[in-house]
């Protein structure tokens, strides 16, 4: 096919390949990627230079944004006005720019994603720091090029007195590549640049002593210094960011009655309104539980998001879920791609960015020095001519007056006094009266000043070391003027996702369980110590037919094992039990355990602590000791209870009329004391009970009289010397008795008398092993509670009644005790 005019015959694949490459290079070089030297994309550079041309310095009046955008479009950037205005608006946004370059007046957008007002409404000028980007631009410090229609010249790069690429960072998507450079702290970057000048072989690791990490305008926290070093070393890598949030307690006069979370800083480039909306959606969908309300209380004083929690919600746990499921934690994927020499995109590490910038800075200073030297020499040359003219002022004036015209006068002066054409023109540019009145001293002083400047500039150009020192001084001066405090905190450790236990303090707590399977958790300080014999305080609101059955001390991180009357075992973590008040009813246990009909919890122990307040080792050879209502005992390895399913496990096989009542842990070499309701006790060596699997039924531990049952299981470890048993009876009486008063027997016997049981004392309720420095908390069936020091309870013999520990109301009785 023959050519028809300008139409050429080409293969479609070839044309597409070449055209796409041209387009890709245009986007890469002329739109999306910043220049490593000044850290600006072409549109940003054109905006700043246009404002410079318009005289919109920080001290000038504001001008309409439309005027600025119109000049940018007409002179340098023939693209859409919205794109240019958006670029200018971003330069003014303090939530996007660590150091804004444009000072905007009016609505320039918000962290909620609100768009800027139309350009006809807003006004702008340059920020004070922006002058550093344009310093000495008119001193031939940079190369210039034709604009799009070759009618004007525009700068190919700005002089940039500071490493702007690292100060404000950059985000851009080109063709086949993208850049994502975080902002940094000016003071830290300048310190690093000065260090590179002094140590040309410095490593990225060396620079990390100055540059702690990115410094985002929105503040927040970043984690894992090792990962930050890796990202800086390779020019790419993830950096974990987190907002700043705190769980707070309500004040006395606060309208908020429960715990609440306050978010005061959010990660960089997170939309605040979208974050709040996402949190609300997660709460509504049930992904995050325990949130009552989410409010945005931000104002001109700062960002503030308040998340009000429900009464029994755990704030730290909810905060962990916010980190996990929302943008309150997100990853900044650092990718430091920039144009080298304005044309070549490269992935650069931190040291390379500073190296290229300092190379640019050295070139700018050298060209500026050459410019200043050239102009100093030119002025000195003119001053030398003026000085010679003053030496011969009368004759010079005579020659000028006698000449026919300017050209004739120039020739005559050059011939008579050997002036150069430049000197002669300078003399002729002055009026004769001004020439006659010219003061010799001023000329000589200025000439001496220029000669000194010429010497200084010549020395600077001749010695690169001096030039580097000059650059260091300029950088330090910029730091003095514009350095500020770091906004983003850097933590050495990795953030990751904290487990619930990582976020919940390890502290003492009290677990309360009722016969009708209601459970709650309270702090030990809820119950103040009182003298023995007192009435105590209301410890729990119970229904008239419900009574407290378990009342024990544990750590918030303990694994609680719930053993049931049917011989099964379930598991929960102590902090999962809702924290309640002293008189609170608690929550139904079915919310936590998968109990069957007529299945009740009869034993409750913290797995990672000793029963009765002694620290419990957790070696593999430890055992779980279980005792039934009618005296059957079984010992099972503790490891068999490491993985308790949600549906529960069988702990031991029971006879049809028996129930599992007591459980304790043991190292396998202890003595065991079983105490009955009617006041009998037996002490025997644990080694007389062989270890069995979970499905076994056990052996006889104590022979009981008719109507009697086991009320206490105690494991006395080998290292416990002088231990006492605390016998508490149903009518509020109690006493301490040495364990040694109970002689060791073979298991299976009837035992010996542990207490003198009478109508006045009532039957035995519990007989725990205690320490003299502990305190005891006693709770009655009607919810009355007393806390008293154990040392106030006398040490008596086995066959005594004891003293009154708690005064009970008519119809009330002791239900349970625990030591703290």
- Concatenating the DSSP letter of every residue in 614-646 gives ------TT-EEEEEETTSEEEEEEGGGGSS--T
Tokens linked to 808: 């009970």
Using the 3D structure, point to which of 110, 134, 159 is the last residue of a domain.
159
* pLDDT of 230 over the 70 cut: yes
Q: How far apart are CA 430 and CA 383, in angstroms?
A: 13
Q: What was the pLDDT predicted at 542?
A: 44
Q: How far apart are CA 764 and CA 711, in angstroms?
A: 7
* Confidence tier at 51 by pLDDT (50, 70, 90): very high
Query: Is 477 in the same domain as 513?
Result: no
Q: What was the pLDDT predicted at 544?
A: 41
CATH number at residue 721: 2.120.10.90
Query: Is 120 in the same domain as 51?
Result: yes
Tokens linked to 357: 């910038």
| Secondary structure letter of residue 430 according to DSSP | S
Query: Is 473 in the same domain as 540?
Result: no
Helix, strand, or coil here: 222?
strand
In a domain, 302, yes or no: yes
193: Cβ–Cβ under 8 A, 6 or more apart, which residues?
163, 354, 357, 358, 475
Q: What is the pTM of this model?
A: 0.68
Q: What was the pLDDT predicted at 772?
A: 65
DSSP string for residues in 456-512: HHHHHHH-HHHHHHHHHHHHHHHHHHH-----SEEESS------HHHHS---EEEEE
Query: Is 393 in the same domain as 282?
Result: no
Query: Smallest Cα–Cα separation from 661: which of 765, 744, 518, 796?
Result: 765
Q: 267 near 218, Cβ under 8 Å? A: yes
Q: 463 near 194, Cβ under 8 Å? A: no
Query: Is 70 in the same domain as 151?
Result: yes
Q: CB under 8 Å, gap of 24 or more: what pairs does 452-457 form?
A: 453/372, 453/376, 454/373, 454/376, 454/377, 454/380, 457/369, 457/372, 457/373, 457/376
Q: Where is average pLDDT lowest: 247-261, 616-630, 799-813?
A: 616-630
Tokens linked to 684: 């025997």
Run of H or E including 244 = strand 244-248
Q: What was the pLDDT predicted at 743?
A: 92
Q: How far apart are CA 324 and CA 173, in angstroms?
A: 28
Q: What was the pLDDT predicted at 817?
A: 85
Using the 3D structure, point to which of 482, 513, 532 is the last residue of a domain.
482
Q: What was the pLDDT predicted at 620?
A: 43
Q: What was the pLDDT predicted at 110?
A: 96
What's the pLDDT tens digit per position in 743-776?
Answer: 999 999 999 999 999 999 999 999 998 876 678 8
Query: Is 686 in the same domain as 814?
Result: yes
Helix, strand, or coil here: 771?
coil
Q: Where is average pLDDT lowest: 260-269, 317-326, 714-723?
A: 714-723
Higher pLDDT, residue 177 or 614: 177
In a domain, 796, yes or no: yes
What's the pLDDT tens digit per position in 466-513?
Answer: 999 999 999 999 999 999 999 999 998 887 555 666 657 778 888 888
Q: 600 near 607, Cβ under 8 Å? A: no
Query: Smallest Cα–Cα separation from 426: which of 400, 401, 449?
Result: 400
What's the pLDDT tens digit per position in 513-568?
Answer: 887 788 888 887 655 544 544 444 444 444 444 556 777 888 888 888 999 999 99
Q: What was the pLDDT predicted at 543?
A: 44
Query: Is 405 in the same domain as 300?
Result: no
* Angle, CA 521 vertex, CA 516 and CA 524 arms, to 5°: 125
Note down the domain range covering 446.
Answer: 354-482
Query: Is 444 in the same domain as 517?
Result: no
DSSP string for residues in 27-77: HIIIIIS-BTTT---HHHHHHHHHHHHTT--TTSPPEEHHHHHHHHHHHT-
Tokens linked to 121: 């409404």
244: Cβ–Cβ under 8 A, 6 or more apart, which residues?
219, 220, 221, 263, 264, 265
Q: How far apart are CA 770 and CA 760, in angstroms?
A: 24
Tokens linked to 412: 């005559």
DSSP string for residues in 87-139: HHHHHH-TTT-SS-SEEEES----TT-PPPPPTTT-EEEE-GGGHHHHTTTTT
Q: What was the pLDDT predicted at 616?
A: 42
Q: How far apart are CA 294 and CA 288, in angstroms?
A: 12
Q: What was the pLDDT predicted at 635?
A: 93
| Secondary structure letter of residue 5 according to DSSP | T
Q: Can you say whether the dihedral through the CA atoms of 127, 132, 138, 144 is positive or negative? A: negative
Query: Smallest Cα–Cα separation from 210: which of 197, 219, 159, 359?
Result: 197
In a domain, 345, yes or no: no
Which residues participate in catalysis according to the annotation?
A: 121
pLDDT more than 70, % of the chain? 92
Q: Can you say whether the dihedral through the CA atoms of 664, 682, 600, 647 is positive or negative? A: positive
Q: What was the pLDDT predicted at 5?
A: 64
Run of H or E including 451 = helix 440-462
Q: 41 near 31, Cβ under 8 Å? A: yes
* Confidence tier at 447 by pLDDT (50, 70, 90): very high
Q: What was the pLDDT predicted at 117?
A: 97
Kindly state the average pLDDT of the residues 731-735.
93
Helix, strand, or coil here: 712?
strand
Q: How far apart are CA 18 and CA 86, in angstroms?
A: 31
In a domain, 205, yes or no: no
Q: 436 near 395, Cβ under 8 Å? A: no
Q: What was the pLDDT predicted at 527?
A: 54
693: Cβ–Cβ under 8 A, 6 or more apart, which residues?
636, 640
Beta strands 568-573 and 559-564 are: antiparallel
| Secondary structure letter of residue 688 according to DSSP | G
Q: How far apart are CA 285 and CA 700, in angstroms?
A: 53
For 60, left (φ over 0), alpha (ψ -120 to 50), or beta?
beta
Q: What was the pLDDT predicted at 539?
A: 46
In a domain, 218, yes or no: no
* Half-sphere CA count of 259, side-chain side, radius 13 A: 18
In a domain, 385, yes or no: yes
What's the pLDDT tens digit per position in 13-49?
Answer: 888 887 777 776 777 777 789 999 999 999 999 999 9
In a domain, 171, yes or no: no
Query: Is 451 in the same domain as 585?
Result: no
Q: Average pLDDT of the chain?
A: 88
Tokens linked to 38: 């000044």
In a domain, 166, yes or no: no
Q: How far apart are CA 277 and CA 342, in angstroms?
A: 42
Using the 3D structure, point to which of 124, 159, 194 is the last residue of a domain.
159
Query: Is 472 in the same domain as 526?
Result: no
Kindly state the average pLDDT of the residues 688-712.
92
Query: Is 657 in the same domain as 555?
Result: yes
Query: Is 477 in the same domain as 510?
Result: no
* Confidence tier at 240 by pLDDT (50, 70, 90): very high
Q: What was the pLDDT predicted at 658?
A: 92
CATH number at residue 133: 3.90.199.10
What's the structural domain count of the chain?
4
Q: What was the pLDDT predicted at 614?
A: 39
Q: How far apart are CA 408 and CA 402, in angstroms?
A: 9
Q: What was the pLDDT predicted at 351?
A: 97
Tokens linked to 143: 């190369």
Strand partners of residue 346: 338
């Amino acid at each position: 096919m023959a050519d028809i005019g300008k139409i050429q015959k080409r293969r479609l694949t070839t044309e597409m390949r070449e055209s796409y490459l041209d387009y890709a290079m245009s986007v890469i070089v002329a739109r999306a990627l910043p220049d490593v030297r000044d850290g600006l994309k072409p549109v940003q550079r054109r905006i700043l230079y246009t404002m410079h041309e318009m005289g919109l310095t920080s001290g000038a009046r504001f001008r309409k944004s439309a005027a600025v955008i119109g000049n940018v479009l007409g002179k340098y950037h023939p693209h859409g006005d919205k794109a240019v205005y958006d670029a200018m608006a971003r330069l003014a946004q303090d939530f996007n720019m660590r150091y804004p370059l444009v000072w905007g007046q009016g609505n320039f957008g918000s962290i909620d994603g609100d768009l800027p007002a139309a350009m006809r409404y807003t006004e702008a000028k340059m920020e004070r720091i922006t002058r550093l980007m344009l310093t000495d631009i008119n001193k031939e410090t940079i190369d210039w090029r034709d604009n799009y229609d070759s009618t004007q010249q525009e700068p190919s790069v700005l002089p940039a007195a500071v490493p702007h690429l690292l100060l404000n960072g950059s985000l851009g998507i080109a063709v086949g590549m993208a850049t994502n450079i975080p902002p940094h702290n000016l003071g830290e970057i300048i310190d690093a640049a000065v260090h590179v000048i002094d140590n040309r072989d410095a490593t990225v690791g060396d620079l990390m002593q100055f540059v702690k990490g990115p410094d985002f305008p929105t503040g927040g926290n970043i984690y894992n210094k090792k990962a930050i070093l890796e990202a800086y070393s390779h020019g790419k890598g993830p950096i974990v960011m987190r907002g700043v949030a705190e769980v707070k307690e309500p004040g006395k006069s606060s309208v908020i009655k429960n715990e609440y979370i306050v978010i005061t800083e959010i990660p960089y480039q997170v939309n605040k309104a979208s974050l709040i909306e996402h949190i609300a959606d997660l709460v509504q969908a049930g992904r995050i539980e325990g949130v009552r309300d989410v409010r945005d209380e931000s104002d001109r004083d700062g960002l503030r998001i308040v998340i009000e929690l429900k009464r029994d919600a755990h704030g730290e746990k909810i905060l962990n879920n916010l980190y996990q499921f929302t943008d309150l934690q997100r990853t900044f994927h650092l990718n430091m791609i920039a144009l080298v020499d304005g044309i070549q995109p490269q992935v650069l590490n931190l040291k390379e960015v500073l190296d290229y910038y300092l190379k640019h800075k050295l070139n700018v200073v050298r060209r500026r020095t050459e410019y200043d030297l050239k102009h100093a020499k030119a002025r000195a040359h003119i001053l030398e001519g003026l000085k010679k003219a003053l030496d011969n002022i009368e004759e010079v004036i005579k020659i000028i007056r006698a000449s026919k015209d300017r050209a004739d006068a120039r020739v005559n002066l050059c011939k008579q006094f050997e002036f150069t054409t430049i000197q002669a023109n300078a003399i002729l540019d002055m009026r004769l009266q001004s020439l006659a009145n010219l003061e010799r001293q001023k000329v000589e002083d200025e000439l001496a000043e220029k000669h000194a400047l010429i010497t200084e500039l010549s020395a600077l150009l001749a010695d690169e070391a001096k030039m580097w020192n000059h650059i260091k001084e300029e950088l330090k001066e910029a730091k003095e003027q514009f350095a500020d405090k770091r906004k983003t905190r850097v933590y050495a450790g990795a953030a990751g996702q904290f487990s619930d236990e990582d976020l919940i303090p390890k502290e003492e707590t009290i677990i309360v369980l009722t016969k009708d399977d209601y459970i709650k958790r309270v702090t030990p300080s809820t119950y103040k110590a009182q003298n023995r014999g007192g009435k105590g305080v209301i410890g729990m609101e119970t229904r008239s037919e419900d009574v407290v059955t378990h009342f024990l001390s544990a750590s918030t991180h303990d694994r609680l094992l719930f053993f049931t009357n049917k011989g099964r075992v379930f598991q929960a973590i102590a902090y999962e039990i809702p924290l309640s008040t002293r008189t609170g009813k608690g929550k139904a246990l079915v919310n936590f355990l998968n109990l069957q009909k007529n299945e009740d919890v009869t034993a409750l122990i913290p797995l990672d602590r000793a029963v009765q307040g002694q620290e419990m080792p957790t070696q593999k050879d430890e055992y779980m000791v279980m005792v039934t209502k009618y005296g059957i005992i079984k010992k099972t390895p503790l490891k068999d209870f490491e993985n308790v399913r949600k549906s529960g496990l069988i702990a031991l096989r029971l006879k049809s009329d028996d129930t599992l009542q007591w459980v304790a842990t043991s190292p396998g070499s202890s003595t065991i004391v079983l105490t009955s309701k009617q006041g009998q006790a037996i002490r025997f060596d644990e080694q007389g009970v062989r270890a069995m699997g979970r499905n076994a039924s056990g052996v006889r531990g104590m022979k009981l009289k008719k109507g009697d049952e086991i009320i206490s299981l105690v494991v006395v470890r080998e290292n416990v010397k002088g231990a006492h048993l605390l016998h508490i009876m149903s009518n509020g009486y109690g006493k301490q008795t040495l364990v040694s008063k109970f002689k060791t027997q073979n298991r299976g016997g009837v035992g010996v008398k542990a207490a003198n049981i009478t109508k006045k004392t009532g039957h035995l309720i519990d007989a725990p092993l205690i320490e003299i420095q502990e305190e005891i908390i006693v709770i009655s069936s009607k919810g009355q509670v007393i806390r008293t020091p154990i040392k106030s309870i006398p040490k008596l013999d086995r066959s005594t009644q004891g003293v009154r520990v708690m005064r009970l109301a008519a119809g009330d009785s002791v239900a349970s005790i625990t030591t703290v």
